[in-house]
Structure 1
């Protein structure tokens, strides 16, 4: 009797589904050994190769079991992860199909061996199982191929659109927004895409779509920190399901939008992270594997485009820099003040800049080496025509570096210029000779200046040696550079003893007053004149001598301060003569003062006696006439003596003394005019005044001043003309003008009109008497009051003296002038 339970158990052991589950590990080992022989699997890790297969085998086993349990099984809902993983790894369709074929072969081979080993008569069942298995497996292959094809087509379309978006734009900022827009439009659930590029240890947003109004362009994140920073540090994709609340998301634009799903991918180039791209969704909490695979593919293509843009930008920059350097070199060559000439390896001239053309007197033209000397008029320093092998440019072509070579050039106009220059060979990167370059400058002017300076120094040394005055030149540190014999004798040292020594070393303590003076000249550039000093010289130790020193800055042609020049003049004779003249003048003026003072007593006696005779009754008319003449003459002598006394006070006494007190200038002028009218009958004197004329003055001295001005105006004006006095109120001061008509004061007398003993004699003026001290006394009285006096005289306007007085005058102390000049 057959035990149906035993048979049932044995039949179950032979079921293909059960076999697959029981032998899954051996099947996968066989499959891995077979599939590893395919080239496309060499770079895959074991997890990426195997992780999806256990689930696939389980699903296949479940479908095959339907033969026994009934119903219809299908792989329609099988995850597409296998096909997507293979597409992401670079498989083509044939490679994917080959994998499935190998897997089927491994299962059937292992199953056949199992059935044969255990023996089973139920082959019909086994065959039905095999048929079901094959159909199921074909369905799995078809589903995988379909998903692979759909994903591949979608990826290719997206990559084409990305390439089109970058077409024609080489700058990142021009095409990155378009790339991101393609990424956003390609995936339905995506509503924001952001690209961050790495700058050092920071990731900075370079482009973003969907977050334009959230300030995303200002966001940055450090590598290793935050969502994008972690992706960059770990160099792998990363996904979040609730980005708006996840603390790893620091971008406020993403949080504010309420982003749920967020998927980020690193941009890799050469094993380094160059940036991070992420896509976000406010509607989905998770992206599909196909969407993530597509995003990785698009990011990979975008990475390539970014690198190409960078390389293109670098290439453009390098070209622009090379072109700029070329232009700069051309400008340097063309604008150089030195003559620059270049020849190729065959010696033919190729570059001949403007300075070279100006130096030679003709423009550039290609000239073979054999014509160099004749064409360019090259001469040796002794003006002998140069031989071909002597030309420094030819020598440079022979691999010789020529430095500081000198020669001459005879220009087309016949002039000869002296040149100094260097020449060197030019080598290509491969070591071959490219030519030679000559750099030369015109030294003619410099040599002429050196010769001129040498001659000037010779003349200066000759001048220093023969000059009768002391001369010296000191550098900015106040060391003697040059000194002549005259100054050396004054200082008591030889010329050689001065050279290189400082002022302190030459003069010792006497330098205390001189050093600050010399430094002031150096710092300000001002000339200091007239400093007088005294002393004795070595050859005349007992004789006191006097000198005057002038100190002036010495500058180069370009304005640089070279030092200080000193001129010391012996003024001993002039000083002695001035002293003798001063003593003579003082003696004369004191003599005049003494004589003037002592003459007053006999004159007063004469006046008293003459006035007494005039009052005597019964005096004969003849005697009365004589007495009046004595009185008139004596009064004139009194005035003259008074003027002499005032003159003496002005010269020797420090000015005319005054005694200010409250006075009214208008009343004072009226009194003076009345006195002048009484002494000049028939002459008209007029006074105009508007304003207030009260002040503090010496009324007697002001009356003397106004009287002198009035008498002067009467004496130097026609007899029938009038004299006008006008007073003007100027606030803190008053102005007095005395005007008369008639011929003007001669121009040569005007500058010295107020000097003593001056009289403006005119052919049309009537005779006057006096010493010529009136206007001198007028000026002294005005100055004593702190005022000024001036005169203006023309043939049309006549002569006008203008007096300005401050209203308040301070009384001068004894012996002081009380005025400022």
Structure 2
């Protein structure tokens, strides 16, 4: 028989080479040199061989731990994660075990030797996990998915007439598949002091040993597991003694892991899983099995309790059914339906409620069905059959039922279904209640509510029309707006507004609006003249139009007209409406039109005043400019150009110099000459109404000085559209331009400095991570030392906490730099459940804040494409803010809700509100939203800025409300997918 020490020493070089090849494929090993990948593996092989040969000597144990410290510490510095480090120890065990797997049994190491090897590797992995702080997010998600699947299978083991054993196998199979094992067996406590086989899966299933019984008093593997509080392992089962293998299936399983079921402190059973190849189970698998077995214990405990209750339930079933039927069947008309084949339907009080003589009430179901309103019949029959044939206990429906005199009444019908022990329906008792009066009241209320909503909508429309009409700048625009608004708001097919010629304002103006393809009514000059003469509203119904001797041929179904009255009380126009879409025009329609007419009158008067004022302001503006600035006057017909002295000085000419158009062109800086001439041509051609506005440089024709000028002008045209005059001003803006240039250079310099600072922040923050990782690792090692006194431990813990804060600051600085310089914080979407993420994050924050209460309420589906890590960062930041600034004795409330493809997340806390002056800058970097007297946050003031950027990169938005009465609420709205951004 070979020893593990002999195998390691004889294959040392090949083990190192294979470890280099396989460990070098890890993501974190890319780019590393061979010695960096191998690390302490050769020395570790030497220690494992020495331990196999000499046993657990203290000196060898210390050497082993020192090498493990060096290995894990080196991997931390290189950026390895926990799974990669523990995976290397699994790889070591697999490579070493592979040395003897193909050997004959008599040449393989003893079970005690292999068991000791795997135990040492298990201890190394436990140490690595302790350094890396346990489960990853993927492990937790996988565990939750498995627990949900166990929940889905749990009802099959509860509340059934079949035996419990038929439902155990799916549960055990799910656990053995989740642990990636090759087989599993579940033993439950049988007669006192024994375990009996209850379920087997995988390689154990084929052996069909349902009568296996194992004593709890023995020294076998199963008995030891039943007595142990921790999972136990058995390596090399084929070489183990017969006593150790008692009750085990064999099945080619090489390594086993077992754990007892122990709800409420009483042994319920034992579960073990096994793998075919010799390898140690990872610490993650150990913890994973502990969770699954604990969950399975709860399921079985409930199943056994349910079995105890079934007998009592059967005894009480009949009396409970009678009680339920009696309490639910109290109403106006009671019926009793025998659901057995050929059963009858008996009625009590139907004749009184619906007027049927007793002899006309039949005991057949069709008699009741035939009297249901034809429009309701199919739906009522379908819902009744669905309730009876399904598993429902109650049925309820609202429908119309024919009275004996022929009219229909509204009824609410509900019944209770009694079932036998097999769940088959046997009887149904119910009651019918006449709710016609209530329905009539509801319909009347609905009509009133609809009328009030229409009135409210009209008032809103009137307010909107006021804003629209008074904002128009021309008479034509005012008329078009008032005509369209009046027709739509009152609901007419045709509308017309006429503005008469008043006070020399030219010919009358008209605007018409029609709905769809409706035809215009005949000329209504008589109605128009009548309204202008009386200066009052005129409303005519269809009947009044047809009866009127002059207006009966209008071809309209009703007419409504209102005058436009000026400030002096005179008539300035008329608004007319014809053919209301529903009935005649009402008094309310008339009141609305009067209001619109008043708005239109004011708007017309305002446009007239505004036009006159604008012309006056134009003349005044030119006069003021001419008084302060250089002026010029050009005649495009004759080519004569006149400049005042100020204008000549800006072109470097003496006051008596003669100017021409060529002199003007020559005085423009060569780089600005083409651009300036193009703007002049556009003004003289009539573009932009002939306005001229430009800044350019001049070069003095006599003094050679360079100046900046701002030129403004206006071209005037004759009836044929030809430019006949071009006048304007020039202003010296040289100093302003120089100041602008200095400011621009200063701004560019500040921008470059800011970018350099942000780059420096990013570089420094990134490079600080390595020393901080080393500090964190060192503090973890120091805290494990037994020779530290309390004061030293407190100092080390302060170092560890300060390192944690520094790491969070660095993470915020890196996110800040990425957001400001990298185009935003990158996100990686994948399908996930936001509701589940919220519950997970809240639970983590609860654990970190054991003295505080956090309430969670989720509604709707949280499914969508999210970056779960970034959204967890958002929620964690908001929760920490709420806990920090909220009242200590009040709960923090977290809520999710959904609407139209958007998921909304709310975080609320009571306490002192955010100051009003802080709210507008709350999400800016380096800002804080503390209340008066509250302590400053230990962070950099980047948290809410990063939260805002993450939400923005998801296409969502974040807002906040804060007051002393309502507390503080942050609201995050997120579209479910990237295509819905902008929610």
Q: TM-score range by the shorter chain?
A: 0.3 to 0.5
TM-score normalised according to structure 2 size: 0.31
TM-score normalised according to structure 1 size: 0.36
